[in-house]
Structure 1
């Protein structure tokens, strides 16, 4: 503690420590695990001027946000949007609490239909960032929805992704969110 205080007093720059979210909250800067979608397969189904369309199929046990992030890295995608339908065995959705600047988790720990999943991919500091929202249908017909942090597939999820050749960039806002900036 004394070293940090001394460093501040004499003006030495110290690296900022990552801020931990309050208990029960999820940070907007939560890292995405790599390699969590080993069953993912894809096919380029259309190429046009400035655009490519992919069919990306996830298998049982694949985690979708990890898989889409890996796919974007491997295929050098820095601007895309996508839609998906299918089913999952569990998911971690969330709702952004603006005053807290963190997400409130909405765990879904049951087999559900992925009624709608939509999102985008854009570049932040040289890395693709996947931003997705999902609406999940439960066995009683009720739904859960929100920002998608994790979605564990069972038995399949079908994603149609449109990748554009003109990259889009993201910037971090004061709350820690990485938002698309069309001037980047």
Structure 2
């Protein structure tokens, strides 16, 4: 595990999958590591909220890299797609009034997704990872990292089965934010 600190005060974590003998897990595909870039989510990762799929994605992402070799980059300051915890809780209140996650952010005068992947790209470059298989369902993350000099050799899906509490959230990700999610509890 490595911690990364940047001049703006942000701190991130990278974890490489290791064998019981302390060696890196061999990469399943021709030496190209799988990488999960996981955005901080206090409500999902720490408190187990069912409103999102973040906690299960974190767990599943770690399982994937342990199985096929690779890294987890845990990105701080990405709470609520980059709007921060306080604004995320404000967005939750709007969602409770019937707005979806995208509409709630926009109503608050915020962007649909304000995450910045520049520091993630710096970490990947410092780890010597310029060609990866990205564990994600989010094509915007793939595009952003590609624009920052990370070659994406393919996507590894990180799909979580929907629950009643997050079905609308996942539908919004799929239908309005182009996430590669083929299912919905409502279907």
Shared fold (TM-score, shorter chain, > 0.5): no
TM-score (norm 2): 0.25
Query: Which entry has the higher C-alpha Rg, 1 or 2?
Result: 1
Bigger share in helix: 2
Structure with greater strand percent = 1
TM-score by length of 1: 0.25
Higher relative contact order (CA 8 A, sep 6+): 1
